[in-house]
Amino acid sequence: MMNQTEPAPAGLTEDLTRRALRLVLDRTTDMAATALRVPLHYYRDPKIAEVEETQILRRTPLMIVPSARIPAPNDYVVRTVLGDSLLVTRDRDGTAHVLLNYCRHRGAQPACGSGNATRFTCPYHAWTYRNTGELTGVPGKEGFTGMDRGDYGLVELPSQERHGFIWAVLTADSEIDIDAHLGDMGPELAQLDYGTYGYHDEREFTSEVSWKGALEAFAESYHFPFVHGQSVIGQNTVANTSTHDAFGRHHRMGFPFNWISALDTDPTGSWDPLMNMGVIYWIYPNLVLANSPVGVEILDMLPAGAPTRCTVRHSWMAKIPATTDEQRAVYDTIYAQVHAAVRDEDFAMLPQCGEGVRRGQHDHMIIGRNEIGVQHMIKTFAAELGIALS
């Protein structure tokens, strides 16, 4: 949560566009007070990685799926988060549930893929569960005399649906309060109204880089001309220039598009921030929301069995849901472009960073004042993990 003495950052207003324009005209960027030294063990120490998973990632609300992924009653999808198979359902009344996808008999997985169903049957011994988790069918029930079916439903994780996403805590005996978790970021997400967007596509892959290092790629534009110089990101965005606003542990970055400078000579144009910059949110601990004028990229990054290995799920939602094949074809093209930038540009470079962290014999790396968003991420995690920075 944000310190109560700190004012909430201004919302998505013309003032944000004016700030970004001023930075572009002055050829500068929002900056941290000093450069930051980060010890390499911050990224590669297995003991730190264990604490991250057990004390942060399994105790903090995570975005599991966009609401638009299961829009209709009885829709469901199965996804894996930190190795756990999760069955995300929407019951006939429209309420979302996040269930551990493990049969209570012998542990096989009752559901797979996605679709629309009211019941799920375990493939091992055909125990059957409602999409709310209750156990409804046990073949050979005489073998389980005295068992109360009410005690053997699928384990449900604490979850809430807010701001167009279904969130959950991966520890069943925990509590969840998304409003408290988001703090002043909540009204900003409400302003964006993601619940009205249309879900389009997703891809998932593994990369040999720390999940924290992967997140950092979406918190600075210093690398844009070098990594994205031949793609739409590098060609349309002013390099090494951004606004930065902290919302407690979360933050918002604004990466100005080249055409923002036209507002200096023709102020009659649109001052809508989403039309003049890429607005990128980091929602602590692992979620990035990258907004463009037509939609939002959703990236959630998590560790994958080693300190310098991560999984990346990259999905995209359209601001105006597709209703025709022509619209879907346009969105296919947009998603293909943005996914190629992530997969073939960012995550072509990031494994080199992962190797440098694993094999480097220096004791620290240095993060520049111009990388203020990266610094905010590192300082936030370091405070949670008790890691000293300088």
**What DSSP line would sit under 357-368, residue for residue?**
HHH--SSEEEE-
What confidence score (pLDDT) does residue 6 get? 66
Cα separation, 315 vs 296, whole angstroms: 8
Q: Is the pTM of this model over 0.75?
A: yes
Coil/strand/helix, residue 87:
strand
In the numeric block, the tokens 């039309």 are attached to: 275
Residue reference for tokens 């093209």: 333
CB within 8 A of 135, min separation 6: which ones? Answer: 104, 127, 128, 129, 149, 150, 152, 153, 154
Residues 91 and 114: beta-carbon distance below 8 Å = no
Give bridge partners of residue 65 from the DSSP assignment.
166
Which helix (H) or strand (E) is 186 found in, with range? Answer: helix 185-192
**Tokens 């004012």 belong to which residue?**
7
**pLDDT tens digits for range 252-304:** 999 999 999 999 999 999 999 999 999 999 999 999 999 999 999 999 999 99
Distance CA 315, CA 324 (A): 20
Question: Taking phi first (over 0 means left), then psi (-120 to 50 degrees means alpha), and beta for anything else, what does residue 140 get?
Answer: left
Asked if pLDDT for residue 7 goes beyond 80, the answer is: no
Q: What is the C-alpha to C-alpha distance for residues 85 and 88, in angstroms, rounded to an integer?
A: 10
DSSP structure class, residue 8 = P
Residue 271, H or E segment: none
Asked if the 64-174 domain carries CATH number 3.30.70.3400, the reply is: no
| Domain 14-59+181-385: which CATH number of 3.40.50.300, 1.10.1060.10, 3.90.380.10, 3.40.47.10 | 3.90.380.10
Band of pLDDT at residue 390, cut at 50, 70 and 90: confident
How many beta carbons lie within 10 A of that of residue 348, not counting itself?
12
Percent residues over pLDDT 70 in the chain:
98
Q: What is the CA radius of gyration of the chain?
A: 22
Per-residue tokens: 2: 């944000």
pLDDT tens across 202-259, in order?
Answer: 999 999 999 999 999 999 999 999 999 988 888 999 999 999 999 999 999 999 999 9
pLDDT for residue 2: 41
Domain boundaries, the chain: 14-59+181-385, 64-174
CB within 8 A of 384, min separation 6: which ones? 55, 56
pLDDT, tens only, 125-175: 999 999 999 999 999 999 999 999 999 999 999 999 999 999 999 999 999
